[in-house]
A and B are shown apart, each in its own frame.
Chain A
Amino acid sequence: MKQLPNILKEIRPEFDFTASQDFIADGMLDSFDMMTLVATLDKTYGISIQGTDIVPENFKNLETIAALLRQCGVQP
């Protein structure tokens, strides 16, 4: 999960994802970015994040994304 900031940076290089607590409200991730992120996380960790979990609340900040990954069985 340490890769998470780098994965996000790859999708939106212009933002510092360690400096925000709400990526959606701060305009750092839109709905298509969320889908791109999910596809990248699925591939990186060999998981399939459920479609029903692709909601803005789960992509607010590094902690919520990490919680989602833990729920999918990714070790911290």
Chain B
Amino acid sequence: MNFTFHRKRISGILTIVPANERSFVEEMKNYNFPESRSMKLKEVMGYDKRRLVSPGVCVSDLAVFGLQHLFDNGSLSRDEIDALLLVTQSPDHFVPPTSNIIQGRLGLKRDMLCMDINQACAGFVIGLIQACLLLEQDSIRKVVLINGDVLSRKTSPKDRNIYPLMGDAASITVLERDPVESVVHANLRMDGAQHEALIIPAGGFRLPSSPETAVLEDVGDNNFRAKDHLRMDGTAIFNFVQVEVPPLIEALLAQAGVSKESVDYFLFHQPNRFMLQKLADKMKVPYAKMPSNVVEHFGNGGGATLPLAIALNLARELETGHCQVCLAGFGGGLVWAAMLMRLGGLSFCQLIDFP
């Protein structure tokens, strides 16, 4: 499905990561693998440091902290937020929406729209699309898009398939109308038939959590996890990304009439370095144009990895200049989505620690 938007822009990006840092090397002993094998994995996948929330910290805590930071330094004012979108797979509660909790905690105005969107690693692009759709309305002049997840709380420390790659993070992206003519192109695909490739089997209404769903099970390859934990079919996800993402990007560039060479940066969701380098090879894009350093510093924080890549690598460039960027997210659902836009002139592009 293709989308085209006129006169919409990102005006600021703030990313929030927990100050609590873990090291892959320190955690290796948790896994039932020889140290040499884990070290090889570290080298190939780019695992090193990651940031995790402390027990009890929720997405709304990261979001409220970040928004308060923007209010305090004058980058954003409460009354100008007409819509607050929260993309998360780890809400504070099933009921009510976490976006409403954030609104209430910050004392935002009542004449506004709050909306939770349950999307995963493609959540940044999905959220941007939704924000642009809302900005078509006269009554909505500024949208705050929050991407946040604390899914490390739902991973098994004995599951080497997923535990070492997970990180927690949130981002706040402000969108508004562009005073000058500009075009944003987007393209997305979904395949719900493969929804089990990335799933938390228990804890919802289909299979409520119980003492049985909390029991660690031997799932092969020396990994142990419970039905309450996040499960990922790594091979299926890897192959889906390699097969589906390059043609999606080609279709997006063709739709926009833009050559691959004229794109300054390909900013993709970052599950691990190996996956991104294979994508870059396949698409014949230099590694320098496709940063893959988020996982080694912060872990995979879901939809927030993409804005994290922007804040980590391009903050100064985007505060002073402009770039043509191709964004892409892919993951649970399955969903794969891409966006081409001119990004820059940001009033803020920062990365802060949540204490």
Contact = CB atoms under 8 A, between A and B. Distances in A.
Interface of A: 11-12, 27, 30-36, 38-39, 48, 50-52, 54-56
Interface string B213-255: 0000000010000000000001100110111000000000000
Given A54-B238, A54-B239, 6 more contacts: A27-B221, A35-B45, A36-B40, A50-B282, A51-B282, A55-B235
Q: Is the interface of B mostly helix, strand, loop or mixed?
A: helix
What band does the interface of chain B fall in when counting residues whose beta carbon is under 8 Å from A? 20 to 34
B25 interface: no
A12 B40 CA distance: 11
16 contacts: A30-B221, A32-B41, A32-B45, A32-B234, A33-B37, A35-B238, A36-B41, A38-B274, A50-B242, A51-B279, A51-B281, A52-B239, A52-B282, A55-B235, A55-B239, A56-B235
Nearest to B41: A32
B166 to A, nearest CB: 15
Contacts of B45: 32, 35
A62 B80 CA distance: 63
Interface of B: 37, 40-41, 43-45, 160-161, 221, 234-235, 238-239, 241-243, 274-275, 278-279, 281-282
Q: Which secondary structure dominates chain A's binding surface? A: helix
Nearest to B278: A51
Given A36-B44, A48-B281, A52-B242, A11 B37 contact: yes
Nearest to A39: B44
B298 to A, nearest CB: 20
Nearest to A49: B278
Contacts of B243: 52
Contacts of A56: 235
A11 B37 CA distance: 7
